[in-house]
Amino acid sequence: MENNPFDLTGKNAIVTGASKGIGRSIAEHLARFGARVVISSRKLDACEEVAGSIREQGGEAVAISCNVSRKEEVEKLVPQAREAFGPIDIMVCNAAVNPYYGPLPEITDEAYHKIMDSNVLSALWFARLVKDGMAARGGGAFIVVSSIGSLKGSAVLGAYGISKAADNQLVRSLAVEWGRHNIRVNALLPGLVKTDMARVLWESPEAQQRIKERFPIPRAGDPDDLGPAAVFLASRAGAWMTGQTLVIDGGSTIMGG
C-alpha cells in the first residue's frame, strides 16, 4: 500500500465496544488497512471471536475485556494494550450505553449517571491515558463515536442525546488542546444503524416505512457504512481534519418536517 493515504501499517489501535456492531466494523476496517487492533468490550469471549476472525483474515488483533464505566478497568486496558502491541496511535471510544428509554424528567439519577459516565467520562479517562504517548510519537488519532441524537431533540432518548452532545464538545475542546501535538480528535455521528442497541428503531415494519419516507437514502445504515470513515479519520487521509463531527446518516438529518 505504498503511498496509500489510508495505509495504517505499523499503527496500534484500541477500539472499545468492538465485539459487535459499529465497533466491530471499525476494528475490522482498521485491521484491514494494516493496524494492529486491541478488541475490547465487557465480554472477553465475544472479543476473542472478533480478534480470531481478524487474525484469520491475515490481520493482527488481541482481545482485552473492559467495562468502560469502571475506571479501574479503563486504567488497566491501556497498559495491557501497550504490552501487546506497543504505544497507542489510534484510540476509538465507541462503547456506549442507554439503559433508559422515556421522558427525561422521569429518568432516575442512577440511570443518568450511568449514561454520562459510560458515554462521556470514560472518553476523558482514555484521553488522559493515551495523550502523552501519542504526543511523544509525533501525533495520533482520537475518535469518539457520537450520534446524530446529539443534534436533535428526542421525547424518549433525551439523556442519551445529552451524553452525545457532550461527546461532541469534548472532541472540540481536546482538538484545540492537542493540535500542537499533531493529535487529531474527531467524532463520528452515525444515524440509524442496524445494531442491537437501536433494534426497536429499525426492525418493525412501521419503522421500515418511516425510514423509506424520511431518509433520502431510504434504508437504515449498516455497521460497515461506518468502518471506512474511521479509517479516514485515523489515517494520513484525514491528516488536516480535527475537532469535527462527521455525520453519516443516509441524509436523515437534512430532511425537514
User: Would you name the residues annotated as active-site residues?
Assistant: 160
Alpha-carbon distance 116 to 114, whole Å? 6
Alpha-carbon distance 37 to 54, whole Å? 9
Q: Is 211 left (phi over 0), alpha (psi -120 to 50) or beta?
A: alpha
Amino acid letter at 214? R
Q: Kindly report the backbone phi and psi dihedral angles of residue 54, in degrees, each rounded to the nearest multiple of 5, phi listed first.
A: -65, -45
Q: Kindly report the backbone phi and psi dihedral angles of residue 145, in degrees, each rounded to the nearest multiple of 5, phi listed first.
A: -85, 110
| Residue 54, C-beta contacts closer than 8 angstroms, at least 6 positions apart | 27, 28, 31, 37, 39, 60, 61
| Joined grid coordinates for residue 14 | 484500541
| Sign of the alpha-carbon torsion through 213, 24, 75, 128 | negative
Burial 235-244 (b: 16+ CB within 10 A, else e): beebeeebbb
Polymer length of the chain: 257
Q: Is 65 left (phi over 0), alpha (psi -120 to 50) or beta?
A: beta
How many Å from the N-terminal Cα to the C-terminal Cα in the chain? 45
